[in-house]
Amino acid sequence: MLRRRLLLVTPLMALIGALGGCGRPTGDFGRAEPSVIHDRVMPAAGGAIAKWGRDELVSGFNHTDDEGVLYDRAWGFVRPPHHADWLNASLIEGQRTRILPELDSKLSVAAYYENLRLDPYRSSEARYTRMIRDMQADTALVGPFWRQAAAVRDADDERLRAWERRSEQRPKEMQNAIARVEENARVVDWVWRSLRFRLRAYKHAIERIQVETPSTRLYDLNLAYNDLVAAIAEAELGTKRTSPGPWAQTKPGRYIKSEEKVPQK
């Protein structure tokens, strides 16, 4: 079995090394840009690597429209906060497509500010404006994402109930259903971690910029940060008040997992 896994994973890793040496393409307004390599080839290879190389659950089901929207909205949070952070973008793309295991906890919190200040001739006020806009954009997207996550979780609950109601219960079908529930939960859990990572990255940047280039806009900067903290705290509270559903007996705690408390205003 191990030899079979190695024979499968090794050529796939070589293929991905040639195809996926960069982050997922980004179009207008930070949206993911369609790409055959990033949307089909890499996820297919990553699914095989996750299943045979790491013994992870991989579903053979088609995605629902709601799941597609969930994954697209999740990408807006899991990608690096700064568009020029190509190294972290490549690693995140490897994790998103499941070619790489979960590694977001190892990303650099300092990278956001270091990329922000790369051009020494850029206006210092422009950096304040960029940071404020980045945090405001994140704040606006938190609510829609968690509403989408709730819709997908409700569908996951119904998916398992529908299988239980079937007169002919097929084990393979149940395996695919449980795997899809786990995949959806994995994405939501990743967004929780990514939001906390962004808070740490923004906090680090605020502490650095007020020393390097002081400005009267520090108040606006802190206000934008506090608004993001409040939006995440509200989403977290709403998630914990919602029953995780019967699937939680199989994979407990994914949707309501909280590794650390959100800092309060």
pLDDT, tens digit (0-9, with 9 covering 90-100), for 5-50: 444 444 544 444 444 455 555 655 455 556 556 667 777 787 788 8
Name the phi and psi angles at 26, rounded to 5: -115, 130
Signed CA dihedral, 143, 149, 155, 161: sign only: negative
State the Cα–Cα distance between residues 26 and 19, nearest whole angstrom. Answer: 17
Instruction: Tell me the two tokens of residue 241.
Output: 């008040």
55: left (phi over 0), alpha (psi -120 to 50) or beta: left
Cβ neighbours of 67 (radius 10 Å)? 20
Cβ contacts of 161 within 8 Å, gap of 6 or more? 246
Bridge partner residues of 32 (DSSP): 26
d(CA 232, CA 262): 7
pLDDT-derived band at 243, boundaries 50, 70, 90: very low
Could you tell me what percent of the chain has a pLDDT over 90?
45
Query: By C-alpha distance, which of 117, 118, 92 is closest to 103?
Result: 92
Q: Which helix (H) or strand (E) holds 47?
A: helix 42-48
Say if residues 101 and 189 touch (Cβ distance below 8 Å). no
Q: How far apart are CA 228 and CA 138, in angstroms?
A: 7
- Tell me which amino acid residue 136 is: Q
Q: Domain spans of the chain?
A: 65-249
Q: How far apart are CA 47 and CA 210, in angstroms?
A: 44
**Mapping DSSP to helix (H, G, I), strand (E, B) and coil, where does residue 263 land?**
coil
pLDDT band at 200 (very low <50, low <70, confident <90, very high): very high
Least confident segment among 53-62, 90-99, 208-217: 90-99
Query: What residue type is 59 in one-letter code?
Result: S
Partners of 26 in the β-ladder: 32
Which tens digit of pLDDT belongs to each residue from 89-100?
Answer: 888 888 888 888
**What pTM was computed for the model?**
0.77
Two structure tokens written together for 124:
């210092």
> What is the model's pLDDT at position 31?
55
DSSP per-residue letters across 157-217: HHHHHHHHH-SS--HHHHHHHHHHHHHHHHHHHHHHHHHHHHHHHHHHHHHHHHHHS--TT
